[in-house]
Structure 1
Amino acid sequence: MNGAATAIALVLAMWTTPIIAQAKQDAPELKDLIPDSAVDDPENWAEQGVSAGAAAQEDAPLPLDAEAPLADMPSVTIAWPDEVDLPQLDPLEAEEPIEFATFEEEIPEVPAGSEERISDELVLVFPTDNSLFPERDEFLDRFKSLSTIAELEDDDNLARLAVQARGDEELLHEMLRVYGYYDAQVIRSVGNVEESADVELDVPAARFDIIPGVRYRFGAVDLGNLGTGGNAFEELRAVFEIYPGDYISLDMITQERADLDIALGEAGFPFAAIEDPDLLIDHDRREGDLTMPVEPGGRYVMRVVRSDSPDFLSSRHLTRIARWDEGDLYQRSDEMDLRRAILSTGIVGSVTLTPVVVEEPQGDRPGTVDIAASLTAAPLRSIGGSIGYGTEEGIRLEAMWEHRNLFPPEGLLRLRGILGTQEQLAGVTFQKSNFHGRDRILTVDAFASTIDYSAYDARAVSLVSTYERVSTLLFQKAFSWSVGVELVATEEREVDANGVFLPRETYFVAALPLYASLDNSDDLLDPTEGWRLSGRLSPEVSDNNSVQSFYLRSQIDASYYQSIGERNVLAGRVRLASIPGTQVGNIAPSRRLYAGGGGSVRGYGYQEIGPLSDMGDPIGGRSLVEFSLEARIGTGLMDGAVSVVPFVDAGSVGEDDIPDFSSIKFGAGLGLRYATGFGPLRLDVAVPINPGPNDNWIAVYVALGQAF
């Protein structure tokens, strides 16, 4: 077979070129070119060489068809290979044997997964063994809030879903790194999901198989110059709760950095600086080295506040507002509290506080800083008004003008007026805030008023002065108090049995009202836990037609609040009041005790509960008792801002100084509360359970804040 192959190859070499040049229809077949002797004995035939006739035939051109395109071209001959000198090739060097890489560890098997279907088109698959990824629940909640697939509307568009899936895949990788899984794998697949119990239709969906892998740990933890914090180092280092060997969590780095920053600010380091953390991941060690340079900057105590506007708010006044005493260790919370207090005055639009070094630290002895205050005044004059309506009180219009710093510092002058169905008033008020102490207010109020109630009408001129320590939204105090002086000259008259007003009587009243309050509740306007207890005492002397009377007005209020579940609160209150010392007739009608209204017994008109005249009008009394119970039930309406409040109230007023329960009145109703940024807006609708002849069948109340 080798000889035959060689013969055939020689023949092909001799005849290939002429055959190509000749037209297909004239080309001889291969079997005609090979003699029978070559087939019978190819090796012998090959050794004989080419005959002279064959050579002559080789030199002669093959006939071409005259119409063929190559007819005019000269014939081509190829020299015999023996006549060609070919260069000698160097032998190839032997190649080195190929070595295949070997793995030190076997490729782990993919653990069995459990699906979490977030939506019809989004599925996450986690390891079934929760110990492989214990952060699963928290991870899933965060992913749901960030996923673009979960956020955008499902429109069964496979192309849109594929683009979003690539974004969610990158999101999953970033989130896994947040928890320290730097070798995690996320396998993304997008396609149609067949109908199942969870999915009713054949819809496109994205599936992510999550293989967390090994969770990395912290290696070295470098906090720069934190050690220069002196005696505070151990305390500060304990605040930064990240140590070598702990699992990596980027959330923890952020949280611990914030905790350390707060601790530095509270430990006397006003100039402390913390640079951005850097985490260097070492995949060989499966660890991350944390570097977060810290510069404590020296420890200081505080001295005074320096105002850049002494004629507006003096340095002395601002230092009085501050909650620290000279020599106290610097605390950033004190600085921030001062800033909020300055803004809450209402006369400052913006403030910048800057620690200024007075004395540098010396060894273990801290330095001293002042707090420089740069102030920008807010508009100081205001005009305001309100319109109100109550089913029992009628219309009430109120207007006021004030200048909040007419008498610096924080000296307010206010003019106000009331025009209503039952009340008219004109008054002027002087008020000095933060007077000789934080949240201490001196008020002098002079006003003239007329009042027209069912029980009486009165024309009065009053001068009232109080000095009080108040509880504010900025600082709700456990203990508040007030002391005051009250001088009243009033002409009042009552209604006789025939409904005719009796002659006016003039009363001159002097009183020393005192007030104290204990507040254990968790919120000033909307309490949900705790209790409150307050008391009022007002020794008074009254002169009526040269008849002097001495008596003591007293009142105790107590309330309790208990949360039930996440959104529900059960609240109750009781009020007891008494005026011992004289008879009802010796007390001006406006100084007696009454019940009824939105802050008392709902369902009844304002001051409509009490002893009645022959015409059925209340005449007031010397004792009072009130009870209220309500359930504040949260709803999901408007993101939980709306709550429903069923309530029941009860109250009684007696002519003696001991509370009388024989004529107690009950009211019940339903309210709505809408939570605002400054307290709940209240709407209550109530009906009297045992109404008198002059009581309306329903009452409506609108106010800010809870009823109690």
Structure 2
Amino acid sequence: MRAVSNSCRARLLPAALVALALGHGVAAHGQEIAPPQPDANDDLAPIDPDQDLAPLPDLEIDWPELDQDPPPLATLSDEAMASDAAARQAEADAARAANPGAVADLGDSSDETIDEVDLTLDTRQQEDDAFLGEAGIERPYSVRVVGIDDSESEGIAVNRRFGELSQLDARDGDPALVAQINRRSEADAELLYRLLKIDGFYDALVAYDFVPDITAQRVEVVFTVTPGERYPLSDVNLAGLDAAADGDSAKFRADFPLAVGDPADQDDVVAGREELSTALQENGYPFASVDDPALTIDHEAISGVLAMPVTPGGKRNFGQIVVEGGKPFDARHTQLIARFEPGDLYKASDIEDLRRAIIATSLVSQVTIDPVDSGDGKSVDVAVKMIPAPPRTIAGEIGYGTGEGFRAEVSWEHRNFFPPEGLVRARAVAGTREQLGHIVYRRNNFLRRDQVLTAQALASNQQFDAYDARTALISGVLERKTTLIFQKKWSWSLGGEVVYTAERPSPNAVNPPPRTTYYIAALPGSLYYDGSDDLLDPKTGFRLGGRLSPEFSLASNNVGYARVQLDGSYYRPVNDKVVLAARVRLGTIAGAATADIAPSRRNYAGGGGSVRGYGYQAIGPRDAFNDPIGGRGLIELSGEARIRLDMFGGNFGVVPFVDAGNVYDSQFPDFSGLRLGAGVGIRYYTNFGPIRVDVGTPLNPRQGDPRVAVYVSLGQAF
């Protein structure tokens, strides 16, 4: 490295005082050496960084005095010149070994040999200077940092942050004028100093140099870092913490992440402040405050002193919930939603949970929740202020599906028709294969949080390839549901329904059979376990679930039977871009022959949520007219690779998949005659879940199966 050179312009600057690069810092005191001011005779423009580095709000910063002189360069210059002389001597020795005759021609004079080599080096220096000094010529460049050990945690952090914030790295590969490279290098040198200070290296030295590659017409900017000794903390002062309740003060001190002897790392100081504040708020101190930390650096002692004043503010329990205005629901219902009771120890996380639960009702657009002193010195009331959201929604959709035909739907709902949270929804469907009228009453958070009561009445006319059904249904169900906001491990449902339906199989026959009238009573129930990490886009974990519906049917033959279905899925990430997913479904109807079960209550397979590539309900036994008739035994298998792409901002992915399945007239599936489908899907990832488009084709089709089937939906296939 040429530390002193007109063309290379090496710089040696002391570290700045605080961590501007991270957007936070701590107040510091003690003698520091400030970054040098630009030389008034420098022909380069002053430093004008393109990327500002802002401090974290609420943390005071004592700026270093900028009028102090930098450390003299004489020592470095001597070292550089000594290093240069050594390099020249080494090159002379190499030249002598490679060409002894040249030395002999010079009279075997070592001085003359060195002079000859020096002439070569001087010529090379002149070439480098000329290369770097060409006016108006832009040069591509690269960046290298020497002296930071990537194997150490602090070295990894410095390099990562430098790569994120470096002005040189931000334009790496783009040609620039040497003057521009120099200005960016000066800014990046100061950035490196500050990053090293963040990690506790308060005596760090950084120099940079330009290494031209005339052959490649490139410039390499080399930063040489001498971190120095990492300063430890000699004292940690949490003044005021003793005002906490008996026993709490010692616990908070013991749990505080910084202690004497730990590095004076500014990241750790900021994290420690947040951790202490959270611990106070989670253990009954709603009015606690932790002041801005002050870090005093002693260069002579090579240590730092941390002072962080604390005001606990008194230990409290929860009091009463008070709702301002009482809309869209009152304090009693708000208390039902809360996960805490009056008298419980105050926890800030319970307040945040209540806020999210109120937003999840869809009845509130904004909510503010504050602890308020109840006046008894022992508890705090919870003041809730809600701004109601529009309660009504009108929606419509038009679509087409293979096997389902054209379909238009319109719906109206009022989410608080019967307060609190009593929803009423009316829905109508008009299509080529289905006509439907549907009304629903739903009470969310019924009797307890996350418990839903639903009652519905429905009348429909369905004309599918498998059956033709005119149906009226009344049902009610009580369930514990999982949602996008609160994904639950366990969910369940238990209900009852009464069905009148007039149906016939093989509706496409030349002479379709007469309709059979069925009166059905059922008690459906379900239990599911969700061990995945996301409801709409799982990447790891598994899911297990089962459905059981004992039913009694009055028709030409009065029969009782049980419908059973088991589902399982598994998700395994290969890396951060690829997830492997698999699914299995087994179903059976026990207790009755297929012919005695209403066609709409039988098992079917095929379609977007089943075996892709086949039509809706198209897999399984067929009649003489090649129409599906359903069955009792069911099996479905699916496997796919969910591959996220880097292009288009990382919002798209591709999903190759293979599905298999079949339906059997027998009670249990025998795994024979599996229908195979394969294809590829496109995923567009949004902030609420992926939108999927799957295109599949049957691999062993039968007569009447489509060549290609397309499916569009929200969320992954399973």
- Report the counterpart of residue 572 of structure 2 in structure 1: 562
Q: Displacement of 1:635 after TM fit?
A: 3.2
Q: Are the equivalent residues in 1 in contact too, given 2:149–2:155 (CA < 8 A)?
A: no
Counting only pairs closer than 5 Å after superposition, residues 484-563 of structure 1 correspond to structure 2 as 484-495=495-506, 498-545=509-556, 547-563=557-573
Give 1:218's match in structure 2, choosing from 214, 222, 233: 233
Distance 2:304 2:499 in 1: 77
- Report the counterpart of residue 177 of structure 1 in structure 2: 197
Distance 2:150 2:590 in 1: 72
Distance 2:375 2:282 in 1: 19
- Report the counterpart of residue 267 of structure 1 in structure 2: 283
Q: Does 1:150 align with 2:169?
A: yes
- Report the counterpart of residue 417 of structure 1 in structure 2: 428
Q: Does 1:162 align with 2:182?
A: yes
Counting only pairs closer than 5 Å after superposition, residues 430-449 of structure 1 correspond to structure 2 as 430-449=441-460
Q: Displacement of 1:469 after TM fit?
A: 0.2
Residue deviations 1:55-78, cap 9 Å, x none? xxxxxxxxxxxxxxxxxxxxxxxx
Q: Are the equivalent residues in 2 in contact too, given 1:530–1:560 (CA < 8 A)?
A: yes
Aligned residues: 587
Counting only pairs closer than 5 Å after superposition, residues 567-606 of structure 1 correspond to structure 2 as 567-606=577-616
Q: Does 1:638 align with 2:648?
A: yes
Distance 1:327 1:416 in 2: 45
Distance 1:663 1:125 in 2: 64
Q: Displacement of 1:360 after TM fit?
A: 4.3
- Report the counterpart of residue 339 of structure 2 in structure 1: 323
Q: Are the equivalent residues in 2 in contact too, given 1:598–1:701 (CA < 8 A)?
A: yes
- Report the counterpart of residue 408 of structure 1 in structure 2: 419
Q: Displacement of 1:615 after TM fit?
A: 0.6
SS at match of 2:176: coil
**Scaled by the length of structure 1, what TM-score is found?**
0.78
Residue deviations 1:657-681, cap 9 Å, x none? 2224333212122222232211222
- Report the counterpart of residue 629 of structure 1 in structure 2: 639
Distance 2:249 2:484 in 1: 36
Q: Does 1:454 align with 2:469?
A: no
SS at match of 2:416: coil
Q: Displacement of 1:492 after TM fit?
A: 1.6
Q: Displacement of 1:192 after TM fit?
A: 7.0
Give 1:314's match in structure 2, choosing from 315, 327, 330: 330
Q: Displacement of 1:346 after TM fit?
A: 0.6
Q: Does 1:209 align with 2:224?
A: yes
Residue ranges of structure 2 left out of the alignment (5+ in a row): 1-71, 85-138
Q: Are the equivalent residues in 2 in contact too, given 1:268–1:331 (CA < 8 A)?
A: yes
Distance 2:680 2:296 in 1: 62
Q: Are the equivalent residues in 2 in contact too, given 1:486–1:512 (CA < 8 A)?
A: yes
Q: Displacement of 1:122 after TM fit?
A: 4.8
Q: Displacement of 1:637 after TM fit?
A: 2.9
Stretch moving more, 607-616 or 169-178: 169-178
- Report the counterpart of residue 98 of structure 1 in structure 2: none
SS at match of 1:246: coil
Residue deviations 1:272-315, cap 9 Å, x none? 11111111222222222111111111112224422123252111
Q: Displacement of 1:562 after TM fit?
A: 2.1
Residue identity in the other structure for 1:208: F
Distance 1:477 1:652 in 2: 32
Q: Displacement of 1:334 after TM fit?
A: 0.9
Residue deviations 1:452-489, cap 9 Å, x none? 11011112122221111001222221211111121222
SS at match of 1:502: coil
Distance 1:296 1:497 in 2: 77
- Report the counterpart of residue 664 of structure 1 in structure 2: 674
Residue deviations 1:495-552, cap 9 Å, x none? 279533222222222211111112222222222222211111111122225x422111
Q: Does 1:195 align with 2:190?
A: no
- Report the counterpart of residue 252 of structure 1 in structure 2: 268
**Change over 3 Å in CA distance of 1:687–1:125 after alignment to 2:** closer
Q: Are the equivalent residues in 2 in contact too, given 1:412–1:430 (CA < 8 A)?
A: yes
Residue identity in the other structure for 2:646: G
Task: Tell me the C-alpha RMSD between the 2 structures.
Answer: 2.6
Q: Does 1:135 align with 2:125?
A: no
Q: Are the equivalent residues in 1 in contact too, given 2:465–2:507 (CA < 8 A)?
A: no
Counting only pairs closer than 5 Å after superposition, residues 1-20 of structure 1 correspond to structure 2 as none
Distance 2:652 2:334 in 1: 40
- Report the counterpart of residue 372 of structure 2 in structure 1: 356
Distance 2:484 2:320 in 1: 25
SS at match of 2:349: helix
SS at match of 2:418: coil
Counting only pairs closer than 5 Å after superposition, residues 607-618 of structure 1 correspond to structure 2 as 607-618=617-628
Q: Are the equivalent residues in 2 in contact too, given 1:496–1:615 (CA < 8 A)?
A: no
- Report the counterpart of residue 126 of structure 1 in structure 2: 146
Distance 2:346 2:575 in 1: 41
Distance 1:564 1:667 in 2: 24
Residue identity in the other structure for 1:135: E
SS at match of 2:648: coil
Distance 2:150 2:638 in 1: 51
Distance 1:533 1:125 in 2: 51
Distance 1:343 1:163 in 2: 50
Give 1:332's match in structure 2, choosing from 348, 351, 355: 348
Residue identity in the other structure for 1:676: T
Counting only pairs closer than 5 Å after superposition, residues 676-687 of structure 1 correspond to structure 2 as 676-687=686-697
Residue identity in the other structure for 2:237: D
Distance 2:630 2:218 in 1: 77
Stretch moving more, 297-306 or 516-525: 297-306
Residue deviations 1:101-150, cap 9 Å, x none? xx9xx99979999xxxxx9535344338779x873332122112111222
Stretch moving more, 446-455 or 664-673: 664-673
Distance 1:496 1:601 in 2: 23
Residue deviations 1:9-54, cap 9 Å, x none? xxxxxxxxxxxxxxxxxxxxxxxxxxxxxxxxxxxxxxxxxxxxxx
Stretch moving more, 660-669 or 247-256: 660-669
Q: Are the equivalent residues in 1 in contact too, given 2:297–2:304 (CA < 8 A)?
A: yes
Stretch moving more, 400-409 or 133-142: 133-142
Q: Displacement of 1:158 after TM fit?
A: 2.6
SS at match of 2:274: helix
SS at match of 1:140: helix
Q: Are the equivalent residues in 1 in contact too, given 2:663–2:669 (CA < 8 A)?
A: yes
- Report the counterpart of residue 25 of structure 1 in structure 2: none
Q: Are the equivalent residues in 1 in contact too, given 2:551–2:562 (CA < 8 A)?
A: yes
- Report the counterpart of residue 56 of structure 1 in structure 2: none
Distance 1:309 1:543 in 2: 53
Identity %: 45
Q: Displacement of 1:639 after TM fit?
A: 4.0
Distance 2:162 2:525 in 1: 58
Q: Are the equivalent residues in 2 in contact too, given 1:343–1:349 (CA < 8 A)?
A: yes
